[in-house]
Amino acid sequence: MEEKIVIFISGATAVGKTETALTLAKMFDAEIFSADSRQIYKEINIGTAKPTQEELDTVPHHFINHVSIQGTYTVGDFERDCKRKLKSYFEEKDIAIVAGGTGFYFRSLLNGLDQIPSVDKSVVDKWNTIFAEEGISPLREYVKEHDPEIFKTIDKSNAHRLIRAITVHEASGKPLSFFQKQAGEAFPYRSIFINLIRPREELYQRINERVLQMVENGLMDEVKSFEDLKHLNALQTVGYSEFFDLLEGKFDSEKEAIEMIQQNTRRYSKRQLTWFRKESFWKHFLPSEIDLIPKYVEHQLSSPFEFNHHRDASNGWTDITITANRERNSSSIALRMNKKNTTVVSKDLNGNDFDKWVEHEMGLVEIV
């Protein structure tokens, strides 16, 4: 196959991404590239809900157990490493699966990242000291004041991400959200976008049960083993920070700490849902429709139409180009869309079939 294809699978935590990714990987002889900013660390396992060893052995995975918690790994690092790995991978393979719930990882691959300014280590150290001495509240207050846009979606319990936003602002005088909006290099491979969703109450129940299973699997023992390293950014995350607080006597009981982990995980899932709703190109599937996903992917692979998108840097629009008969480039339509509106920029249609396909795939009532 001359054309190289990436199947993207996104969704909130506990929605069922691992199972779906494994199913598609086996079906299409593909390997899985994780887009999860916590599973990337080698040492932390239980609290990050990594695939089991059996699942890892069944299908090759990339970017799980990739780096140590004692290092620093940014979105830019992931973009560079993943694009490099995909280029090498596609020398032998035709289809790859990128699966996870970290929206910034997806965005970095699809749109690239603008050159975020470097930050002097002394600035980072200053804010790490503030966090160690005063807690997370000053970090939240700074980001809320200086970058309200990023504050809406950032994990407010993740000190590492808050400090990243703070230090970029201090170093450049511009908010991190400004740099994240800048357009980068377009993704060079054909893409299929799948977003897994569940009714909120069902998702929350799965989250609560998953946390209880983590505790039963030994989460507290895992946290205790890192007590001397709790200052590391990678450990300032849901499931670990709450149990560190429990060990410091900030909770009256383990039950209270567990309930806080569940609550913070539900909050995180809500931010994930908001993130993926903002991107109009995802095809959403409910649990009852899981069996339809392989058919949908096969349909996309056999379709004579190609769907590409690129996010506009200036105003949050997504530029869409759909082309029929790619070799002859006989029909095409260019759209601009955000979560509220779709505007046709230009079209060159030869035949009603293409017109109807665009209407169906994009959910448009009329192409004008």
Instruction: For 165-203, write each residue's pLDDT tens digit.
Output: 999 999 888 898 887 766 566 688 989 999 999 999 999
Angle separating helix axes 103-111 and 254-278, nearest 10 degrees? 30
Give the pLDDT confidence score for residue 352 in this predicted structure: 43
- Domains with residue ranges and CATH for the chain: 5-112+186-218+272-287 (3.40.50.300), 121-180 (1.10.20.140), 305-362 (no CATH)
Give the pLDDT confidence score for residue 21 in this predicted structure: 95
Least confident of 69-78, 152-161, 334-343: 334-343
Average pLDDT over residues 57-78: 94
**Residue 76 vs residue 260, higher pLDDT:** 260
pLDDT at 127 over 50: yes
Q: Is there a contact between 102 and 37 (Cβ–Cβ < 8 Å)?
A: yes
**pLDDT band (50, 70, 90) for residue 306:** low
**pLDDT band (50, 70, 90) for residue 295:** confident
**pLDDT band (50, 70, 90) for residue 304:** low
Instruction: For 328-344, write each residue's pLDDT tens digit.
Output: 344 444 544 444 444 44
Other Cβ atoms within 10 Å of 112 Cβ, number: 19
Quote the CA–CA distance of 242 and 337 in Å, as a whole number.
Answer: 40
**pLDDT band (50, 70, 90) for residue 302:** confident
pLDDT at 290 over 80: no
Per cent of the chain over pLDDT 70 is 80
What is the model's pTM? 0.72
Give the pLDDT confidence score for residue 115 in this predicted structure: 66
**Residue 162 vs residue 331, higher pLDDT:** 162
Nearest residue to 347 via CA among 368, 360, 332, 336: 332
Give the pLDDT confidence score for residue 29 in this predicted structure: 96
pLDDT at 265 over 90: yes
Quote the CA–CA distance of 33 and 82 in Å, as a whole number.
Answer: 8
**pLDDT band (50, 70, 90) for residue 270:** very high
Give the pLDDT confidence score for residue 221 in this predicted structure: 97
**pLDDT band (50, 70, 90) for residue 1:** low
Give the pLDDT confidence score for residue 280 in this predicted structure: 77
3-class secondary structure, 305: strand
pLDDT at 4 over 80: yes
Give the pLDDT confidence score for residue 312 in this predicted structure: 44
Write the single-letter amino acid at 316.
Answer: G
Least confident of 187-191, 234-238, 320-324: 320-324
Q: Is there a contact between 258 and 212 (Cβ–Cβ < 8 Å)?
A: yes
- CA distances (Å), origin 231, targets 2, 40, 71, 209: 48, 18, 12, 28
Give the pLDDT confidence score for residue 253 in this predicted structure: 97
**pLDDT band (50, 70, 90) for residue 154:** confident
Strand order across the beta sheet in which 61-62 lies: 61-62, 31-34, 95-100, 5-11, 190-196, 283-285
**Residue 203 vs residue 293, higher pLDDT:** 203
Instruction: For 273-289, write each residue's pLDDT tens digit.
Output: 998 988 878 999 987 78
Give the pLDDT confidence score for residue 293 in this predicted structure: 87
For the chain, the average pLDDT equals: 83
pLDDT at 39 over 60: yes
Q: Which of 11-20, 105-114, 339-348, 352-361 is the most confident on average?
A: 11-20
